Amino acid sequence: MRKRVVLTGLGCVSPVGNNVKETWESLLAGRSGAAPITAFDASAHKTRFAAEVKGFDGVAMFGTREARKMDRFTQFATAATLEALDQSGLKIDEANRDRVGVLIGSGIGGIITLIEQHEVMKERGPDRVSPFLIPMMISDGAAGNIAIRIGARGPNMALATACASGTNAIGEAAEMIRRGAADVMVAGASEAAIVAIAMAGMNVMTALSTRNDDPQRASRPFDKNRDGFVMGEGAGIVILESLEHAQSRGANILCEFAGYGTTDDAYHISAPAENGAGAAISMRLALENAGLGVGDIQYINAHGTSTQLNDKSETAAIKTVFGEQAYKIPVSSTKSMTGHLLGASGAIEAVIGTMAILNDTLPPTINYETPDPVCDLDYVPNQPRKAVVDHVMSNSFGFGGHNATLILSRNK
For residue 282, name the pLDDT band (cuts at 50, 70, 90). very high
**Does residue 259 or residue 1 have the better pLDDT?**
259
Active site residue 163: yes
pLDDT in tens, 148-168: 999 999 999 999 999 999 999
What domain count does the chain have?
A: 2
Residues 6+ apart with CB under 8 A from 48: 36, 37, 42, 212
45 annotated active-site:
no
Q: Provide the terminal-to-terminal Cα distance of the chain, rounded to the nearest Å.
A: 19
Average pLDDT of every residue of the chain: 97
In whole angstroms, what is the distance from residue 341 CA to residue 348 CA? 8
Q: Are residues 175 and 70 in the same domain?
A: yes
pLDDT of residue 264 exceeding 90: yes
In a domain? residue 255: no
Average pLDDT over residues 81-108: 98
For residues 234 and 331, state if they share a domain.
no
pLDDT in the model for residue 2: 87
Residue 228 sits in the same domain as residue 266: no
Residues 184 and 310 grouped into a single domain:
no
Structural domain including 95 reads 5-248
Of 12, 245, 255, 303, the active-site residue reads 303
- Do residues 233 and 275 share a domain? no
Is position 255 annotated as part of the catalytic site? no
How far is Cα 155 from Cα 110, in angstroms, rounded to an integer? 22
Choosing from 12, 163, 255, 375, the catalytic residue is: 163
* Domain boundary pick from 198, 213, 248: 248
Q: How confident is the model at residue 115 (pLDDT cuts 50, 70, 90)?
A: very high
Residue 223 lies in a domain: yes
pLDDT tens for 91-102 read 999 999 999 999
Is 155 part of any domain?
yes
Model confidence pLDDT, tens digit, residues 295-332:
999 999 999 999 999 999 999 999 999 999 999 999 99
Distance CA 301, CA 18 (A): 21
Indicate whether 194 and 274 sit together in one domain.
no
| Torsional class of 329: left (φ above 0), alpha (ψ -120 to 50), beta (otherwise) | beta
What does the pLDDT read at residue 362? 98
User: What is the per-residue pLDDT across 217-231, written as a single tens digit (0 to 9) for each?
Assistant: 999 999 999 999 999
pLDDT tens per residue, range 324-375? 999 999 999 999 999 999 999 999 999 999 999 999 999 999 999 999 999 9
Last residue of a domain, one of 248, 271, 295: 248
Tell me the average pLDDT across 30-51: 98
Which of 45, 245, 255, 340 is flagged as catalytic? 340
pLDDT of residue 275: 85
243 and 284 share one domain:
no
Q: Are residues 265 and 405 in the same domain?
A: yes
Please give the pLDDT value at position 153.
Answer: 98
Q: Which of 227, 248, 269 is the last residue of a domain?
A: 248
**Cβ neighbours of residue 287 under 8 Å, at least 6 residues apart?**
259, 261, 293, 294, 296, 297, 321, 407
Q: What percent of the chain has pLDDT over 90?
A: 98
- Residue 201 sits at the vertex; the CA angle it makes with 196 and 202, to the nearest 5 degrees, is 100
User: Mean of the pLDDT values across residues 36-55?
Assistant: 98
Q: How confident is the model at residue 274 (pLDDT cuts 50, 70, 90)?
A: confident
CATH number of residue 72's parent domain: 3.40.47.10
Q: 273 pLDDT exceeds 90?
A: no
**Angle between helix 345-359 and 165-178 (nearest 10):** 70
Give CA–CA dist 398/271, Å, rounded: 9
**Rounded Cα–Cα distance for residues 123 and 117 (Å):** 10
Interval 8-27: pLDDT, tens: 999 999 999 999 999 999 99
In this structure, are 403 and 321 located in the same domain? yes
The band of 270, judged by pLDDT with boundaries at 50, 70 and 90, is confident
Phi, psi of 53 (to 5 degrees): -70, 135
265, with CB counted inside 10 A (0-12, 13-18, 19+), is buried
Do 133 and 277 lie in one domain? The reply is no
Domain match, 222 and 349 both:
no
Q: CA of 307: how far to CAs of 158, 249, 315, 401, in Å? A: 28, 45, 12, 15
Non-local (6+) Cβ contacts of 106 within 8 A are 73, 77, 139, 142, 158, 160, 165, 189, 190, 191, 343, 344
Characterise 400 by phi-psi region: left (phi > 0), alpha (psi -120 to 50), beta (else). Answer: left
254 in a domain, yes or no? no
The Cα 66–Cα 324 span in angstroms is: 54
Contact 334, 32 (CB under 8 A): no
Residue 317 within any structural domain of the chain: yes
Helices (H), strands (E): how many in the chain? 14, 14
Q: Are residues 244 and 298 in the same domain?
A: no
Under 8 Å between Cβ of 90 and 248 = no
Strands 234-242 and 156-159: unpaired
Percent residues over pLDDT 70 in the chain: 100
Q: Residue 253: inside a domain, yes or no?
A: no
